[in-house]
Amino acid sequence: MMKKFIYFTVLLFISLCVSGQNASFNTYNFGEGLDFISEDDHSFKLGGYVQPFIESRFIFNDSLDENYNDNRFRLRRLRLRLSGNNTQHNLSYRIQFDLSGVSETGEESTNLLLDAFMTYSLNKRTKLTFGQRSLRSDNRELPMSSATLQLVERSRLTSSFASIRDFGFFIQRDFRFKNGSFLRNYLEIISGDGMNNFNKDFGGLKYGGRIDFLPFGLFTNMGQFRQADIMRERSLKLVIGFNYSYNNGISSRRGREGGQILYLDSLGNESLPDFIKMGADLMLKYKGFSLLGEYQSTTSIVPDNISQRVRNNGTTSPSFLINGEENIENYVNNRMMLGSAYNLQFGYMFKNMFSLDARYTHIESNEFSFLNNGTFYNRPNYYTFGLSKYFARNYGFKIQAAITYVQVGNNSTYPQQTGDMNEPYQNIPYQGSEFLFRLISSFNF
């Protein structure tokens, strides 16, 4: 009921923006949305994009000496976005919905509201934002728009560790030096429960930040937040960044959806572990060549007064059995995304706007971590090669294809995606490999 009320309020706000400002149509450029402007210098843009998606998965089972494949055809993303600014009052805002029913990491989702925030510019270098938006305290790839990705999907590093979006306060402060270099600082004080959290808050707040250094000045056309060098930078551009976050009392695996995993002390009060994430990354672009490198690591702090866990049905249990032994700390850690990973991808954009790209992602899980889960993870290495064709430099339309080889760890199984999966693949742990072929088209309107 609360979510419906929020959506209704947001839609009402949109209608007031359009009708209450004597707005008139300004321009339309393919891939950049409809521009409107009002009499009081309030301009806003209505746009979005749609991404049809095909995936074929081929599984090779070394222990059973047989193969399996399945296919999926779906709408990967369907976004609707309203953004605007009022230069008179130094205000800007964004509201974005997703109507596809699929989350940013490819999982089924009922979250329609992605972004809903307002920004006040204190001056040219300092911005204050309040609301729900993507996080800067995650890895570099995460806040980049899905319509501007270099490959069909984001890396497995992002899907394993990123919190994606959250609600709270965001501060950005830029420093420009005399030699043309930039230092960008981001600070976040957020709920730590992920996006669309209209119910009870669990645990404390999450504190995070990022520092980016651009020694050779800013990228062309927001290139710092886009992957392939579609603008073919004439001079070398580089950004080096460091990110850190501390989630005081986490109630999920990585901070995406609060309330999923709860623990209590002997008095029945919540007692939740802390979740720490840190990393470093860089991106380089020059004359069509692009390079993205990322490293991310997570750790936890488990309180010593945990005595009960809350089951999915709401009942509690004093048992923390793992590997045949009672161990509270190891049990709690085994349900979180603990470990490290690095991601390295590069590509070249030809003058005819074809792009060849490659990526390698390695994930190293802690001894007790959900990254060892044999159905969804326990896959340490990912090798991806992609080919893309862009039809406009503003990402109005593009077609991308990619093939990924996945090395599978011992004692893994495979989740059923579509159709009937053969019985051995559902129940018998084994070692093997899989190939993923993906095809996506992106149309920005």
Give tens-digit pLDDT for 168-185. Answer: 999 999 999 999 999 999
Give the C-alpha separation, 6 to 132, whole Å: 13
CA 98 to chain centre: 14
pTM: 0.90
pLDDT in tens, 194-251: 987 667 889 999 999 999 999 999 999 999 999 999 999 999 999 999 999 999 999 9
Give the C-alpha separation, 441 to 267, whole Å: 54
Helix (H) or strand (E) holding 14: helix 2-19
Per-residue pLDDT, averaged over 272-293, amounts to 98
pLDDT at 17: 55
pLDDT in tens, 88-131: 888 899 999 898 877 766 666 666 889 999 999 999 899 999 99
Q: State percent of the chain over pLDDT 90.
A: 64
What is each CA distance from 168 to 6, 11, 104, 145, 401, in whole angstroms? Answer: 16, 21, 20, 20, 37
Q: State percent of the chain over pLDDT 70.
A: 87
The pLDDT confidence band at residue 347, using thresholds 50, 70 and 90, is: very high
Per-residue pLDDT, averaged over 437-443, amounts to 96
Nearest to 114 by CA among 77, 140, 149: 77
Q: Which two tokens stand for residue 118?
A: 């307002």
Phi, psi of 137 (to 5 degrees): -85, 5
Phi, psi of 235 (to 5 degrees): -125, 155
The pLDDT confidence band at residue 393, using thresholds 50, 70 and 90, is: confident
Structural domains in the chain (count): 1
- The mean of the pLDDT values for the chain is 88
- Assess whether pLDDT exceeds 90 at residue 294: yes
E strand spans, 193-262: 206-214, 237-247
Of 154-158, 311-315, 402-406, 418-422, which gets the smallest average pLDDT? 418-422
The pLDDT confidence band at residue 4, using thresholds 50, 70 and 90, is: very low
pLDDT at 198: 66
What's the domain range around 66?
A: 2-444
Give the C-alpha separation, 71 to 298, whole Å: 33
What CATH number is attached to the domain comprising 200? 2.40.160.10
DSSP 8-state class, residue 430: B
Amino acid at 420: D
**With 0-12 CB in 10 A as exposed, 13-18 as middle and 19+ as buried, what is 225?**
middle
**Site of tokens 């030096």:** 177
The pLDDT confidence band at residue 361, using thresholds 50, 70 and 90, is: very high
The pLDDT confidence band at residue 420, using thresholds 50, 70 and 90, is: very low
